[in-house]
Amino acid sequence: MFAPVYLDHNASTPLADAVREAMLPWLGARFGNASSRHEYGRAARRAIDEARAQVAAAVNAHPTEVVFTSGGSEANNLFIKGAAARLKPGVIAISAIEHPCVREPARQLVRRGWTLQELPVDAQGRVQVDGFDGQAALVSVMLANNETGVLQDVSTLAAQVRRAGGWLHTDAVQALGKIAVDFRALGVSAMTLSAHKIGGPQGAGALILDKRVDIEP
């Protein structure tokens, strides 16, 4: 009898057994609102704080830098739109091969007076770092491409952008769990993660945000 074989783990992974076990209590007897002060609420708050600390430890960030979202797309939108809202319109630069959830919000900023710059890539799909001087208020370049897996030289780009006084964001959704991802070593201002790429549940993601970066909620 024919049975399908799942070969699309880069798109989404099955839920890991350990994750399911950790989640099950919160789908049943544990249901408190984490903002409530009673015992149920305090237990929920402790669970969230623990999860935040675990995410931070995975990427060498501080727990206060972890902003939970519903996934990678929301985290990308939150940074691009939230950061732009705190700045005067300037240049936003993205790679020519960014995911639509980065490309489309960046294009929307053009209607608000921003200038969109697309950074070209070479035949291997790598952003041409030497041709970029870092002169942009906002930059977003993915760490690992979601189609080809090619890795970008994000740390070099981040250094260029910092020197020019801008903020660089990287979508690291496809990198976490496959390579070591270090928020501090990369030198970025913000980074996107998503749970369902690494055995976690769909509908859970995070924006790792340097505390020096101000974004509009």
Rg from Cα positions in the chain: 18
Contact 141, 94 (CB under 8 A): yes
Helix or strand (DSSP H, E) at 110: helix 100-110
Give the global pTM.
Answer: 0.94
| pLDDT band at residue 131 using 50, 70 and 90 as cut-offs | confident
Whether pLDDT at 11 is above 90: yes
Q: Report the pLDDT averaged over residues 135-149.
A: 95
Residue, of 19 and 134, whose pLDDT is higher: 19
The CATH number for 63-209, chosen from 1.10.10.10, 3.40.640.10, 3.40.50.300, 3.40.50.720, is 3.40.640.10
Contact 60, 183 (CB under 8 A): yes
- pLDDT for the residue 71: 97
Q: Measure Cα distances from 198 to 159, 175, 178, 179, 202 in Å.
A: 28, 10, 9, 12, 10
3-state secondary structure of 102: helix
- For CATH 3.40.640.10, the residue range(s) in the chain are 63-209
- pLDDT for the residue 47: 96
Give, rounded to a whole angstrom, the gap between the first and last alpha carbons of the chain.
Answer: 52
| pLDDT band at residue 1 using 50, 70 and 90 as cut-offs | confident
Whether pLDDT at 133 is above 90: no
3-state secondary structure of 108: helix
Whether pLDDT at 134 is above 90: no
102-126 pLDDT per residue, tens: 999 999 999 999 999 999 999 999 9
- pLDDT for the residue 40: 94
DSSP class of 38 = S
